[in-house]
Amino acid sequence: IYAADGTVLVQHGGIELGQGINTKMAQIAAQELRIPMNLIRVGDTWTGAAPNSEPTAASSGSDLFGSAVKLACQTLRGRLAQYCEDSNTPAWSAQNAASWRTVVAKASGARVDLQAEATYKTPYIGSVGGSQPYGRAFLYFTYSAACSEVEIDVLTGETTLLRTDILFDNGQSLNPCLDIGQIEGGFLQGVGMMLTEQMMYTADGALYSDGTWDYKPPGTKSVPLVFNVRLHQLERYHPDTGQPLDYASVNGSKGIGEPPLVLAATVFFAVKHAIVAARRDRGSTQWPEITTPATVGRVQQAICPTNDTLRL
């Protein structure tokens, strides 16, 4: 905390990749210190401030770094609250930034330490494995459901994603706007894996789909024409003990980055059912074999194989 103006510098070990982790860290700091968010600045991540940080991966960024930021801010808040009590200084409030600056300035003059650090380890990590094959491996689970509707061109095999509806449980969302964006992005990444991103190799094993001429990542046309995403934020408690049934991480949130990707499987199976319908119209009741990604060529071939004896 800077005594001159009451601003706060937060530095954490996460890497901002566009997922909004810096925004979430600023929110957590502002909430814990009970000050306006415009007083928070998130500094660049560097090893001078966080020399032993964990990778920003596996949807763990907010859990790890947010919890550490929260612990550090609680330490600072505790020091300042104790100073206010000992010196009979009126406590600050989130609605009055001037009161925060006054407390910080006076505390600095009294040589209260205005710096704090903290580390956080996810519970149960490493509890299962090796000689311990049973037990609790995760702090919480993320739940979701999705439904997709597609339309295929029976002549070309082209797929149009008409609609997708997603209901996602990520606990108490730290930032619903960011989290819905993460869900949409993760789902679209999965759509690419399910429909277009085919790896192709030469006879001697060399990869030749190494550019967008042969390798097709999802684009704007991959987005569902109707795309509905809703967060399911519901606290569940044990009817007898009153304890939460789903333990979550920082401020009741859950990881959001990678789980939405698997929901794109609904698109693949929708394509497969569309192929079944197209084949049924041509007199076949057999279940077609098709692997991911369901590319234009594979869909067209599944509808009308080269050895097809169906009615034309």
Please identify every residue annotated as catalytic: 258
Beta bridge partners of 151: 160
What span, in angstroms and rounded, lies between the C-alpha atoms of 70 and 175? 16
The residues near 29 (Cβ < 8 Å, ≥ 6 apart) are 8, 10, 40, 69, 73
| Token duo for residue 135 | 């037990």
What does residue 186 show for φ and ψ, rounded to 5 degrees? -65, -40
Buried-exposed string 44-73: b where 16+ CB fall within 10 A, e elsewhere: ebeeeebeebbebeebbbbbbbbbbbbbbb
| Token duo for residue 309 | 């004896």
| Token duo for residue 193 | 């894996």
Q: Cα separations (Å) of 120 from 26, 46, 61, 218?
A: 17, 18, 11, 36
CA nearest 170: which of 107, 83, 263, 108? 263
Cβ(36)–Cβ(30) below 8 Å: yes
